[in-house]
Amino acid sequence: MSLSGIGRRAAARAHVGQHVMIRKSPRMQHRAIFGLAGWFAVSFAAAAIGAAASIHAESFYGQLARPSWAPPASVFGPVWTILYALMAMAAWLVWRAGGFAAHRVALSLFAGQLVLNALWSWLFFAWHRGGAAFADIVVLWALIVATVVCFWRIRPFAGALLVPYLLWVSFALALNHAVWQLNPQILGGSDAPRSTPAAIVAKCAAQQVAADTNRNGHDDEYLLV
């Protein structure tokens, strides 16, 4: 076969390949768009679940004793909106790099940190459990670090998109601990009494002993009279 024949066959194959790419392109574009919308839906669904517990968060936050470096309540809404958008974009980039099956660990870590993120609002704002909220955010921070590392290995830009989120949660972790310790009666601080079942039983037993002692004392008085 002559060189000209080889060249014509190569050109024909390239031409066919271009047509295949053109035919697949709209489908791939639609899949990418739906995927982006899906990851935005997942991220902002977690935001909505957390927001449901934060309806009165601004007034509750205003009643708490806070450190001097605590930001005003009006800052949190805009910051979290931006962070959730960045999270969605990061997850979408990783998903586009091979799908969920190819990056199951990374995307599972991402989903896990979303769950803990939403749970934190309920623990802190709805149930006023400062210690549980702090434990939650510590685990959340660790999951975010793991997610950033996994995302970075797949798509460095996706990992970079999560860095502001990691920095903000690091700040929130310190703020959670400070506010918890400054408000032991409201958030169940380390010095606040614990209303555990064992504590309730012990309290009831002590009250019963005190009542029996008082009754025996009165009986002794009647005997003396």
The answer to the question of residue 106 being in a domain is yes
The answer to the question of residue 162 being in a domain is yes
- What tens digit of pLDDT does each residue of 3-58 get? 455 555 555 555 544 444 445 577 788 888 999 999 999 999 999 999 999 999 99
Q: Name the token pair of 168.
A: 């903000």
- The domain that holds 64 is classified in CATH as 1.20.1260.100
Q: In total, how many domains does the chain have?
A: 1
Q: Please tell me the pTM assigned to this model.
A: 0.74
The answer to the question of residue 224 being in a domain is no
Q: Tell me, letter by letter, the H, E, C secondary structure of 131-143.
A: HHHHHHHHHHHHH
Distance of CA 196 to the CA centre of its chain: 27
The answer to the question of residue 211 being in a domain is no
The answer to the question of residue 219 being in a domain is no
Find the domain containing 73 and state its range.
3-202
Q: Which of 116, 111, 99, 105 is nearest to 149 (CA)?
A: 105
- What tens digit of pLDDT does each residue of 53-75 get? 999 999 999 999 999 999 999 99
The answer to the question of residue 210 being in a domain is no
